[in-house]
A and B are shown apart, each in its own frame.
Chain A
Amino acid sequence: MIKSLNNELIDQITELFDAQLNYPVELVYFSKKDQCETCDDTTQLLEEIASISDKLYLRNFDIEENSQLAERYGIHLTPGLVIAGRDQDKLIDYGIRFTGIPSGYEFSSLLQSIILVSKRDSGLKPAIRNQLKELRKPVQLHIFVTPT
């Protein structure tokens, strides 16, 4: 099978992860056997990324066979990805989701999200954080993006 990532890119990501990853990260990934055009490519891409660092754990669930788990994470579409922190055998859900294949421009967003979760730090300015702490109602962001 042709790899999604070429060797040069793998080297770059290896260097990035070596420098930036701290705490373990779990990629809770939901795919579907049929009627999912980008699931196979996404599975391969995530497998290749996860193999780059021993701080990354990939778990691939069939959304139909694991519908309760998918529901718990609010995943309704595939490919659907939760980027969670891992603390011993517990997951820390920061509410970060990717729906659709994270390729093209989205690939760097994916790497960035993995790094932020691994650092357990949003990277936001202190003033912004303080104001966000005062929020008393849930805020749901849907960010529409394209790979190009």
Chain B
Amino acid sequence: MISAEMIEANEFYELAARYNVRGVPQTIINDNAGVVLGAVPEEHLLQEIKRII
């Protein structure tokens, strides 16, 4: 149900630009339905996932 892809932003800057990546790490959930900036506790990530779903 959950997949996670780590993407090297320098190498794939066009992809990073498409998702408006401003800093790293930045987590994009379901094609920009949700965004998490920085490394966050798992509760925080879950909260954002539940907010957009």
Contact = CB atoms under 8 A, between A and B. Distances in A.
Interface of A: 37-38, 74, 77, 95-102, 106, 109, 124-125, 128, 131-132, 135, 137-147
Contacts of B16: 144
Interface string B13-53: 00110010100111111110000000000110010011001
B2 A99 contact: no
* Chain B interface size, under 10 / 10 to 19 / 20 to 34 / 35 or more: 20 to 34
Given A128-B43, A139-B30, A99 B24 contact: no
Given A140-B30, A142-B28, A145-B25, A99 B7 contact: yes
B13 to A, nearest CB: 10
B46 A145 contact: no
Contact of A37 (B6, B11, B27): B11
A144 B7 contact: yes
A100 B6 CA distance: 8
Contacts of A143: 4-7, 25-28
A100 B53 contact: no
A141 B11 contact: no
27 contacts: A38-B8, A38-B11, A77-B15, A95-B4, A97-B3, A99-B8, A100-B6, A100-B8, A102-B6, A109-B6, A124-B42, A125-B42, A131-B46, A132-B1, A132-B46, A135-B53, A138-B1, A139-B29, A140-B5, A141-B2, A141-B27, A142-B7, A143-B28, A144-B25, A144-B28, A145-B8, A145-B24
Contacts of B12: 77, 99-100
A132 B2 CA distance: 9
A106 B8 contact: yes
Contacts of A144: 7, 9, 16, 19, 21, 24-28
